[in-house]
Each structure stands twice: as structure tokens, then as C-alpha cells.
Structure 1
Amino acid sequence: MVKSDDIFLFVQVVDEGSFSKLAEKLEMTNSVVSKRISRLEKALNVQLLYRTTRKLSLTDAGQALYGKARLAKQALQDAQDTVTGYGDAVRGKIRVTVPSVSANLLLSKAIAEFCQLYPDVEVELHVSNRLVNILDEGFDLAIRTAFLEDSSLVARRLIDSQWIVCASPSYLNQHGIPHKPNDLLNHECLIYKYEGVGPDNWLFQQDGVEANVQVQGRFYTNSLAAIRDAAATNFGIAYLPRALVHDDLMSGRLVSLLADYTAKELGVYAVYPKSRQPDKKLNLLVEHLRDAYLAKKEYLY
């Protein structure tokens, strides 16, 4: 007979990536975890995991079970959290995904502070610039800029993030200062390409009208930090979030350009599934992160 506890243990094994990590976390022995997974495979009459000395990987059957079982486990957790929400206690687990710029600026520290405030809350933080499918991958919350429309998600605006055009003083001494957006056509521009495509059309505002300038350059990357580093080493002109280059502007490593024309401003959102009713701990975390952004607003705009 298939035991539901074994199925949920299987989900935890996959999430942790190894028997030993999960055994340590649950204060169990490796052999107990292994025996329970073997018991589940025997009950289902199918192999779920490929086991090697270095890692675990899912079979096709394991992948299918994990997808459904993770949703069932989340539904059970949601039910428990809903009941818990009626009391004063704040406890449970929150899986959060955030972009690297926000994580490095303030979110990693803010989430650690949140865990200190609420010792019965466990937060699993994933830092990635990839547009994570929070429904398929089982996240409770995502922090995103430029929220993409999705009917299955709810988004709460936390703050706005201004982007600026900037370059190093040495680059400008050598190549000249652009005074209007079209002057960028004569400059080496550093282009952010997200998953193979990206904004080589830079947004500006001239005489109250938005306009795009299709810039050119020899440096393309999906890393905003790499663009900042390239700009700081005199390679070209960048269009970046102010939060990423605030310290560089303060130190003089980078200089802001075309301030009267820049028009790129993206909202920073807390995003969660519609099916995931925000309980007390999730609401508290969102408020905590909003306060953390507001305390750093000089970095953002």
C-alpha cells in the first residue's frame, strides 16, 4: 500500500537533492530515508530515482510523480497555514525567488532579519535572474521587476526602480559625452540580452514623447553586473538600474548621463499564485520586504 507520508518524503528528497541532506534536516538516518523511498518504489512498482554517489536524478515516472505530489504537498501546507493563520502564531515555510540585484542590495539581509523576528518561520531563498514559473516550481513568493501579465498570479507593487544611462569618466574623456539620446549611435553601448533577446532599443523621453534609440555595441550579456563591470572598466555606455550602480555613482567610478531624457522605470512587485491565499506569515514577509525597499529608496530612484 502506498503511504502518503512516503510520497511527501520523496518530494522532500527531490527538493533537497540528496538523501543525506534530508536525513540531517529531519534528524533521521540515511538508511531510514533510503528504505522509505525503496518502499514507495516497491508499492508503486516503478523506479522513481536514479541514484549515484554524486547526485540523484528523476526517472520519467519520478518526474511525473514529483510534479503532482509537490502540488498536493503544497495544498496540504496551504490548508495548515490557513488554520494557523487564525491564531497568533507565525510559523511554517516560505519558498521565495528573487533577482540577484535585489538580493545583493537588500533582500538577502532583509529575509535573514525576518527569520530572526519570527523564529518559527523557515524561508528557502532562491536567487536567480531566470523568470521562474512559481506555480510549476512550487514557490510561494517571487520578487520581480516589470511584472509580466499572468492571470494565475497576483502582484503587489512594492516600489519603483529607476534606470540610468552611465559610463566611466575615462570612457567619456576618450570618446566624448552624449548630450542627446541619438548621440548614442556614435558610441559603444553595452547591451543586456535576456535569454537570447534583449533591449538594444533604449527607451527615452524627448519633449514629453517616449522614443526608442536602437543602440549598437560589441558586448552582449544576460548579466547586469557584467555590464556594470564593463562600464566601470571604460568599455562603453550602459543603461542599468540605479540600485546596481548607486555606489559607483557615489564614488565617481561611473557618471550619470542623459538624465533629462531617461524614461525607463520599472515597478518592483511581490508576486504569488492566486491559488495561494496569502496567510499571516506571507503577508508579514511582503510588508517586511516593502519596508526594506523603502528604507533604501535613495538607491532606487
Structure 2
Amino acid sequence: MAGVKADDIFLFVQVVEAGSFSKVAQQQEITNSVVSKRISRLEAALNMQLMYRSTRKLSLTDGGQMLYQKAKLAKTALQEAQDAVTGYSDTVSGKIKITAPAVSARLVLNEAIAKFCKAHPEIRIELNVDDKVVDLIEDGFDLAIRTGVLEDSSLMARRLVNSNWVIVGTAEYIRKNGLPQNTTQLEYHNCLLYKNETSGPAAWRFSNDNEEYVVQVDGSFCSGDLNALRQAAKADLGLAYVPYALVHDDIENGDFVPVLADYTAKKVGIYAVYPRMRQPDLKLRMLIEHLRDAYHEKSSYFY
């Protein structure tokens, strides 16, 4: 390992995670040729090729993959050490990479994070909006906003707010198909199904006299995008069981009619989640508290 520079190894990790030399060059404010030369210098020092380069993408050799996995852990450990020191300072700085679902981003996070960045100009935040559940450690995220049951024991979580769900349909759909008076009548309705539902998209949760039960429903449309279900319901296609936050304004405007409101029982927590292996540093703790306050300011949208 003589001649190997730690900075080159960390630059290699950045290149792998960014997927291109040019992105890293922009991040580091250096030229593409400098990035290329430093990766070549690392390969020469290690006496092995680390990646295959093409005009379209970069791919790792077996040696490159092994180095990346080990170096990523070292980079994380170094970041934790820096964060620990930063935690004792009067100022906070650094980068926080967040993944969050679309509904929360639109309703709360976009504005809340912008305000946080304005208040703390030394902190840089990267927000990735995606309803898919990603691997925080594998994909390099510091924080995730997640809804529902948390099954990954390697993660720590802070509850931000509870989110009630509601069944809605348009007045036109109800005029044509009738308003269900009880859950058994859902078999006569086109129920729009949420594909990412952990209990199965066709299993709708209800309660009666404080006793919860599940009704199996069916419909002609299924999607992993909650907004797609909202749009389909708005097009008079059927009934959708969605977060109240998603359709709050639609209900207030009269575009949607709540259905079986006395029976709906789905309530899930919205959490700030971070890897257990990484204790939250000062800037992450500050952001989580800021987001919790932002959700509670919008509590009327959630329950």
C-alpha cells in the first residue's frame, strides 16, 4: 500500500457513488482530467485496475468492488469522527443526504428543508424524493422519512407524526355507483389498490367497536404511486384508500367525498429513520427536530 493516498481512495468512493468523473469534478471544483489522473494514480499504487471506463457508464472490477466496500466503511467512520467533533462546536456544517416519499416532500419537507438550509447556511442537504424503500447504508443516505411499520432492526427511528388514511370517491362516482353503507358493500365497487401496501394492496383495514378487521377488495387499477390513485379517483374511476394528507385539500374543496369514515382504521406513523451504526450528530438531531415541528404545524392534514 506504499504510495497510496487516502484522499485518492475517498475520491474513488465519490466517483463510484456519483457514477461519473464529471459529477465528482463539479462537486470538488476540479477538472475531469484531475479526477482521472488521481484514479489512475490510485490504480498504479495498488497495481490493479479498479474500474472499466466507457462513454456511457463506469463499472467496477472485482478488486474495485472490494476496495469500494472497505473504503466506504472507512469514509463513514471518518465522517462520524468529524461529526462527533462538530457536535461540540458552536457551529454546524456538512452534508445530509435524505430520502423521502412524494406526499411528505410536497406537503412538508420541501418547504421545511428550505427553511432549515436558510437558517444553517453551512449545512448542505440533498433530498431524494422516491416512494421506494431504499437501503440507507448501501445507498449512502443519512436520513429517511418513512411511513408504516419499521421492520429493519439495523435502523433507529424518531416518530414525527401519525398519519390517518381515508377512503374517498368523487360525487359523480358515488352518484353512479351508490354510497357504500358498510364494508361488505365494497365488493360492488371498483377499489383502487395501493401496490406498496405491506399487508397486500387488496387488504383494506377497518374497525368496528374498537375491533380491527380486514376486508378483501378488488379493482381495475393498481399502482405504487399514491398520487396516481388520487388522480384515478378524481377521474371517477373508483374508491381510493389513501393518506388523509394527500386528499385534505380535495375534501375541503368538495372534489372528494369521504366514504365509510366511521369504519376506516388505518393509521400509520411517519418516522425519521437513520442507521443504528451511526449515532445522530448535532446537525442531524437539529434537522430531525426541525422536521418534527414542521409536521406538527401541518397536523390538521394528517389526522
When the two structures are superposed, what TM-score results if normalisation uses the length of structure 1?
Answer: 0.95
Name the amino acid aligned to 2:13: V
Taking only the aligned residue pairs, the percentage that are identical comes to 58
Range moving further from structure 2, 55-64 or 217-226 = 55-64
Indicate the residue corresponding to 1:177 in structure 2: 179
Q: 1:17 to 1:169 in 2, by over 3 A?
A: same
**CA deviation vs aligned residue, 1:48-78 (integer Å, no higher than 9, x gap):** 2232223333334333322222221111011
Q: 1:110 to 1:58 in 2, by over 3 A?
A: farther
One of 33, 36, 47 as aligned partner of 2:35: 33
Name the amino acid aligned to 2:14: Q
Structure 1 stretches lacking a partner, 5+ long? none
Q: CA deviation at 1:110?
A: 1.2
Q: Is the 8 A contact 1:74 1:138 kept in 2?
A: no
Q: 1:61 to 1:244 in 2, by over 3 A?
A: farther
Name the amino acid aligned to 2:87: G
Q: Secondary structure at the match of 2:263?
A: coil
Indicate the residue corresponding to 1:67 in structure 2: 69
- Report 1:243-262 matches (<5 A): 243-262=245-264
Give me the whole-angstrom Cα distance separating, in 2, the residues matched to 1:123 and 1:57: 27
Give me the whole-angstrom Cα distance separating, in 2, the residues matched to 1:299 and 1:156: 20
**CA deviation vs aligned residue, 1:179-219 (integer Å, no higher than 9, x gap):** 11111111000011129983311000012211110001111
Indicate the residue corresponding to 2:129 in structure 1: 127
Structure 2 stretches lacking a partner, 5+ long? none
Q: 1:195 to 1:185 in 2, by over 3 A?
A: closer
Q: Secondary structure at the match of 1:142?
A: strand
CA RMSD of aligned residues (A): 1.6
Indicate the residue corresponding to 1:227 in structure 2: 229
Give me the whole-angstrom Cα distance separating, in 1, the residues matched to 2:250 and 2:219: 22
- Report 1:185-264 matches (<5 A): 185-194=187-196, 198-264=200-266
Name the amino acid aligned to 1:192: Y
Q: 1:38 to 1:157 in 2, by over 3 A?
A: same
Give me the whole-angstrom Cα distance separating, in 2, the residues matched to 1:181 and 1:213: 7
Q: Secondary structure at the match of 1:2?
A: coil
Indicate the residue corresponding to 1:117 in structure 2: 119
Q: 1:61 to 1:168 in 2, by over 3 A?
A: farther
Does 2:48 match 1:46? Answer: yes
When the two structures are superposed, what TM-score results if normalisation uses the length of structure 2?
Answer: 0.95
Indicate the residue corresponding to 1:104 in structure 2: 106
Q: 1:181 to 1:196 in 2, by over 3 A?
A: closer
**CA deviation vs aligned residue, 1:232-272 (integer Å, no higher than 9, x gap):** 00001000001111121122221111111110000011111
Q: 1:261 to 1:197 in 2, by over 3 A?
A: closer
Range moving further from structure 2, 156-165 or 122-131 = 122-131
